[in-house]
Amino acid sequence: MTQDPGRSAPAASARGLALLRDPLLNKGTAFTERERDALGLRGLLPPHVLSQDEQVERFLENLRRQPDDLAKYVALNALNDRNAALFFRVVCDNIDEMQPLIYTPTVGLACQRYGHIFQSARGLFIGANDRGRVAQVLRNWPLRAGIIVVSDGERILGLGDLGANGMGIPVGKLSLYTACAGVQPDLCLPVILDVGTNNTELLDDPFYVGLRQRRLRGAAYDELVEEFITAALEVFPGVVIQFEDFANQNAFRLLKHYRDRICTFNDDIQGTAAVALAGIFSALRITGGKLGEQKVLFLGAGEAAIGIADLIVAAMASQGLTEQAARARCAMVDSRGLVVKNRTDLSEEKRRYAQEHAPIGDFPAAVKALKPTAIIGVAAVGGTFTGEVLQEMARINQRPIVFALSNPTSKSECTAAEAYRHTGGRALFACGSPFDPVTLDGRSFVPRQGNNSYIFPGVGLGAIASRTRRITDEMFMTAAHTLAHDVTESDLEQGSLYPALPRIREVSTHIATAVARVAWRNGLAAGREPQDIAAHVTSQMYDPHYHRLV
């Protein structure tokens, strides 16, 4: 018997019902006659042998009959629980249709309803009640983890504190690691740090899956995180740890505390930054402008805004601006208005972007006063790029850059149709949620998501392939340039600032190769640099087609 890449011998030697219940090895009705005889499957399956292609068609027929997207999400997760290869074939071959179902926007509703649609546990729930035994909990995971996505559920998308219901996010992110970049599924470990929730609706919900207590804070919280990090490195040496959907108060400080100690990154800060910067690079290919000439106004001043601004500043500095001059070209509006120097309520991160300006109370007024070339929405407040805002951007810019990046769709700052209509079709638009093509005055526009799935899967694959000790800002800068380079002229002609989603594995391979090259160049990678890094990266990628087990 041969074994799949990354699988251990004991798992690959499963037989009979144990084999059918192993989603990483199960092929269902596609087991051949020879495999059925050799593996004790005779009689446990219907006699007709189907090809994987036939299984895909049958599943799609059933999926498309489901009444709504949440039902489709449940059906896809059930498929992943029983047959991973078939799940990833379905997703990879139909990525435009499936990504919105397995991740944004549907995953937001799935997290809100998590306890009510719960079918089986995926990943590890590490609770505040597990302090002192986290390593033991991690050893309950039966596979060798190569990458962990961990959240404490406090800032799930734009939906806020969903506690342990936030497990849908690590699960969804890791599905995208495999679908979009070919990271081996058995290397992927979703983790929720269940430190409680301050969401009273959840605490009163009889089907809530998490601890029924208020959130852990202060030293006790930090001690649990530290125990988790230490235990993860002990149980899974060299593991990549991605922080996901932590609230601002913890996201920045945890990244700062651990980034030079372990192989880690925060996708909400660094992944969002890279995908946004790539979109700006693409937009400037259309306008012919220079990055250092742009004036960027953010709606929102949290981790996404700060992360994007930090990477824009680094990119401007690499092109000759001083850091101070670059920061002056990035302004932010939060719930209290423009972030200005005389405000006393600013965090350390916000203060870096405080403007020398009189107070301005709202976003439309800030647009009129500051005259930005680009507006980036990351505040998760739906409808805030109003007709007034969009028309003003079109008045002061020939080609205004408008990024409505909040998700899910209900939180989007504007729709694609609104962006194009209110700017006479001149907006260079990117979105955080999917929108259909728009026809205006006989011209068709194809908006594409500035979705982090263009960045983080490739970064993760590059980190795994190089076994880098750290993930650096240079890697994210390189990822942004690589992504923008993969946008074709035909993409730009139709208003698309990102590549077509069906090219995502190709794009991720390019990003992973670039990231791995940075790791080896900077002495961060393990082992000797391969002669052909791209070939080395490709050799690590998961193929969701069935492999012969006999």
DSSP 51: P
pLDDT (average), residues 173-195: 98
Question: Does pLDDT of 21 surpass 90?
Answer: yes
Residue 253 lies in a domain: yes
Residue 22 lies in a domain: no
Question: Does pLDDT of 169 surpass 90?
Answer: yes
Q: Are residue 253 and residue 300 in the same domain, yes or no?
A: no
Q: What band does 408 get if pLDDT is binned at 50, 70 and 90?
A: confident
Q: Which of 27, 173, 350, 411 is catalytic?
A: 173
Question: What angle is formed at CA 260 by the lines to CA 257 and CA 262, rounded to 5 degrees?
Answer: 90
Number of domains present in the structure of the chain: 2
CB atoms within 10 A of CB 356: 8
Residue 426 lies in a domain: yes
The model's pLDDT over 361-379, given as tens digits with 9 standing for 90+, comes to 999 999 999 999 999 999 9
pLDDT (average), residues 448-469: 97
Domain, as residue range, for 381? 270-451
Q: Are residue 181 and residue 123 in the same domain, yes or no?
A: yes
CB atoms within 10 A of CB 470: 16
User: Left (φ > 0), alpha (ψ -120 to 50) or beta: where does 451 sit?
Assistant: beta
Query: Three-class SS string for 450-468?
Result: CCHHHCHHHHHHHHHHHCC
> Rounded to an integer, what distance in angstroms lies between the CA atom of residue 446 and that of residue 287?
18
161, 252 Cβ separation under 8 angstroms: no
Residue 41 lies in a domain: no
pLDDT (average), residues 385-396: 98
How much of the chain, in percent, has pLDDT values that exceed 90? Answer: 95
Strand partners, 194: 127
Q: Is 454 a catalytic residue?
A: no
Q: Are residue 256 and residue 275 in the same domain, yes or no?
A: no
> Rounded to an integer, what distance in angstroms lies between the CA atom of residue 519 and that of residue 511?
12
pLDDT for res 195: 98
Of the residues 212, 229, 262, which one is the last residue of a structural domain?
Answer: 262
182, 540 Cβ separation under 8 angstroms: yes
Q: Are residue 257 and residue 279 in the same domain, yes or no?
A: no
Q: Are residue 243 and residue 307 in the same domain, yes or no?
A: no
Q: Are residue 287 and residue 424 in the same domain, yes or no?
A: yes
155, 194 Cβ separation under 8 angstroms: no
Residue with tokens 């594995």: 505
pLDDT (average), residues 446-455: 96
CB atoms within 10 A of CB 193: 24
Question: Does pLDDT of 2 surpass 50?
Answer: no
Proportion of the chain in helix, strand, coil states, percent, rounded to 5: 50, 10, 40
pLDDT for res 9: 34
| CATH number of the domain that residue 290 is part of | 3.40.50.720
279, 404 Cβ separation under 8 angstroms: no
Q: Which of 73, 103, 208, 498 is catalytic?
A: 103
Of the residues 451, 481, 502, which one is the last residue of a structural domain?
Answer: 451
Average pLDDT, the chain: 95
Distance of alpha carbon 520 from the chain centroid = 25
Question: Does pLDDT of 4 surpass 50?
Answer: no
pLDDT for res 8: 37
243, 307 Cβ separation under 8 angstroms: no
pLDDT for res 299: 98
Lowest mean pLDDT among 290-299, 403-412, 490-499: 403-412
Q: What band does 3 get if pLDDT is binned at 50, 70 and 90?
A: very low
Q: Is 256 a catalytic residue?
A: no
Question: Does pLDDT of 6 surpass 70?
Answer: no
Q: Are residue 258 and residue 288 in the same domain, yes or no?
A: no
pLDDT for res 13: 72
Q: Are residue 296 and residue 398 in the same domain, yes or no?
A: yes
Question: Does pLDDT of 7 surpass 90?
Answer: no
> Rounded to an integer, what distance in angstroms lies between the CA atom of residue 370 and that of residue 297?
8
The model's pLDDT over 71-101, given as tens digits with 9 standing for 90+, comes to 999 999 999 999 999 999 999 999 999 999 9
Residue 346 lies in a domain: yes
pLDDT for res 1: 33
Q: Are residue 307 and residue 386 in the same domain, yes or no?
A: yes
Residue 486 lies in a domain: no
Q: Are residue 258 and residue 163 in the same domain, yes or no?
A: yes
pLDDT for res 407: 85
> Rounded to an integer, what distance in angstroms lies between the CA atom of residue 546 and that of residue 305?
42
pLDDT (average), residues 374-396: 97
Q: What band does 121 get if pLDDT is binned at 50, 70 and 90?
A: confident
Residue 513 lies in a domain: no
Instruction: Give the CA radius of gyration of the chain.
Output: 24
pLDDT (average), residues 232-252: 97
Question: What angle is formed at CA 429 by the lines to CA 425 and CA 430, rounded to 5 degrees?
Answer: 155
> Rounded to an integer, what distance in angstroms lies between the CA atom of residue 468 and that of residue 488?
30
Intra-chain end-to-end CA distance of the chain, in Å: 5
> Rounded to an integer, what distance in angstroms lies between the CA atom of residue 507 and that of residue 514?
11
Residue with tokens 């805002």: 389
Q: Are residue 243 and residue 302 in the same domain, yes or no?
A: no
Q: Are residue 378 and residue 310 in the same domain, yes or no?
A: yes
pLDDT (average), residues 51-79: 98
Of the residues 262, 293, 324, which one is the last residue of a structural domain?
Answer: 262
Which has the closest alpha carbon to 407: 434, 428, 447? 434
Which has the closest alpha carbon to 191: 237, 234, 245, 238? 245
Residue 538 lies in a domain: no
